[in-house]
């Protein structure tokens, strides 16, 4: 039997008041429940003393709300509660992919369209003409003897042969055009003579030359910059990523002589060219990329006041934001990139971020570390 309001009032104010037996059992059971929840008699007395000071309601809130109290704008633990972080609505500017592909050639032509190939064709023929003019007259034993301008169809065939060579490794280029023996393959000899292949191979150029007296424009990778920019732009033109995207670095295996070659003994591909990429988490499709050429790449990134690990993420996200929209997207990074500065910058762009983090990361709150 529960106590009435008058009995509760007398119990609190009158020390000589003794409730009935039925009521006493109820009080004992209530005291047992309070002790089970970790509330002792001292906390009850504190609550009675704080009634006069108007603090009783605050004590009750502390009992009902198990979350730690922290100041505004600081970190707090929300595990074990029903609270969820505020979610920014995902609003992509466009969705899905453009075009339908049935064969590998269709995919290739979507990225390497005729406009790009015409640029390569123009620069290849220009360079070959300059070389022949300097070497004129051309000896009949010269590699350039019998030169004719490359056509668009011939350039496409040349690219197909190059890609096929990567799938059929041989000791040297000469072995691909062997007329007999173990290395003979009709695919290569049916498409090109060895001399014609070597002519295009030595003449191939991708970008116009820089002005002869203006060397300020010269940077590492400037000879392939137009190709890199074109393919990077096509990645977002042909496909719009979903809400979840991931940013990481990749290594293209290479052991040739380039100054920006990197080495990481902890990676499966230890030697090669490093490329920072942003990819759609669901499909793995690369939405954008930045080749790493060393200091020139670092200097070209946005937000120079931030560390490199934050700048490269913001730079890649700017590409996605400009072409596909970024509001409401969720970026996933590993501990190399994740940090408070990056999280704050992405939040300003209305973008969520999740990632592992180093305990010694600069500006990391002690509640997290």
Structural domain that includes position 21: 5-64
- 36 and 91: one domain? no
Lowest-confidence pick of 11-25, 102-116, 305-319:
11-25
Task: Give the pLDDT score at 292.
Answer: 94
| E strands, the chain, in order | 96-97, 239-240, 244-253, 262-263, 271-280, 286-291, 330-333, 352-355
* Count helices and strands in the chain by DSSP H and E runs: 13, 8
Cβ-contact 357, 75 below 8 angstroms: no
Q: Is 155 part of any domain?
A: yes
- 56 and 72: one domain? no
User: Residue 32 above 60 pLDDT?
Assistant: no
- 48 and 88: one domain? no
- 254 and 318: one domain? yes
- 250 and 368: one domain? yes
| Residues 355, 313: Cα–Cα separation, whole Å | 13
Which has more confidence, 243 or 46?
243
| Residues 123, 127: Cα–Cα separation, whole Å | 6
Q: What mean pLDDT do residues 200-216 have? A: 81
- 262 and 147: one domain? no
Q: What mean pLDDT do residues 175-182 have? A: 91
Long-range contacts made by residues 189-193, C-beta under 8 angstroms, separation at least 24? 191/157, 191/160, 191/161, 192/157, 192/158, 192/161
- With a pLDDT cut of 90, the percent of the chain lying above it is 52
Domain of 86, CATH number, reads 3.30.420
- 59 and 84: one domain? no
pLDDT digits (tens, 9 = 90+) for 58-71: 444 444 444 444 33
Q: Is 314 part of any domain?
A: yes
Average pLDDT, the chain: 81
Q: How many domains does the chain have?
A: 3
pLDDT digits (tens, 9 = 90+) for 110-144: 999 999 999 999 999 999 999 999 998 989 889 99
- Domain end point (choices 43, 64, 85): 64
- 299 and 194: one domain? no
Q: What mean pLDDT do residues 156-170 have? A: 94
Which has more confidence, 5 or 28?
5
Of the pLDDT bands very low, low, confident and very high (cuts 50, 70, 90), residue 219 is: confident
- 45 and 81: one domain? no
Cα–Cα separations (whole angstroms), residue 129 to 79, 116, 145, 195, 223: 70, 20, 12, 17, 19
pLDDT digits (tens, 9 = 90+) for 322-360: 998 878 999 999 999 999 999 999 999 999 999 999 988
- 153 and 271: one domain? no
- 333 and 352: one domain? yes
| Residues 272, 258: Cα–Cα separation, whole Å | 9
- 33 and 75: one domain? no
Task: Give the pLDDT score at 217.
Answer: 54
Q: What mean pLDDT do residues 277-305 have? A: 93
User: Residue 16 above 70 pLDDT?
Assistant: no
Of the pLDDT bands very low, low, confident and very high (cuts 50, 70, 90), residue 209 is: confident
Task: Give the pLDDT score at 208.
Answer: 84
User: Residue 1 above 80 pLDDT?
Assistant: no
């Amino acid at each position: 039997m529960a106590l009435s309001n008058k009995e509760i009032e007398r119990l609190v104010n009158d020390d000589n008041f003794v409730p009935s037996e039925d009521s006493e059992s109820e009080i004992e059971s209530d005291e047992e429940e309070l002790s089970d929840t970790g509330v002792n008699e001292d906390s009850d007395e504190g609550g009675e003393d704080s009634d006069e000071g108007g603090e009783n309601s605050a004590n009750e809130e502390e009992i009902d709300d198990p979350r730690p109290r922290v100041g505004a704008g600081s970190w707090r633990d929300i595990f074990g509660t029903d609270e969820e972080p505020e979610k920014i609505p995902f609003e992509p500017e466009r969705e899905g992919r453009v075009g339908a592909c049935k064969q590998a050639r269709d995919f290739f032509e979507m990225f390497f369209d005729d406009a790009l190939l015409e640029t390569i064709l123009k620069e290849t023929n220009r360079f070959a003409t300059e070389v022949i003019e300097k070497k004129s007259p051309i000896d009949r034993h010269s590699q350039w003897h019998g030169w004719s301008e490359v056509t668009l169809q011939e350039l496409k065939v040349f690219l197909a042969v190059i890609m096929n060579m990567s799938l059929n490794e041989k000791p040297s280029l000469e072995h691909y055009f062997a007329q007999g023996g173990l290395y003979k393959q009709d695919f290569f000899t049916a498409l090109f003579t060895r001399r014609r292949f070597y002519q295009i191979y030595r003449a191939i150029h991708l970008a116009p030359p820089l002005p002869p007296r203006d060397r300020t424009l010269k940077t590492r990778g400037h000879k392939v910059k137009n190709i890199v920019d074109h393919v990077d732009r096509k990645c977002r033109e042909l496909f719009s990523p979903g809400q979840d995207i991931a940013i990481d670095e990749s290594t293209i295996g290479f052991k040739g002589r380039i100054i920006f070659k990197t080495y990481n003994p902890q990676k499966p591909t230890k030697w090669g060219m490093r490329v920072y990429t942003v990819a759609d988490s669901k499909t793995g499709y690369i939405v954008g990329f930045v080749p790493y050429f060393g200091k020139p790449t670092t200097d070209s990134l946005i937000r120079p006041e931030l560390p490199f690990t934050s700048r490269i993420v913001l730079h890649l996200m700017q590409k996605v934001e400009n072409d596909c929209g970024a509001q409401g997207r969720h970026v996933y990074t590993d501990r190399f990139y994740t940090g408070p500065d990056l999280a704050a910058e992405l939040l300003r762009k209305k973008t969520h971020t999740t990632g592992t983090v180093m305990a010694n990361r600069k500006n990391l709150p002690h509640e997290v570390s």
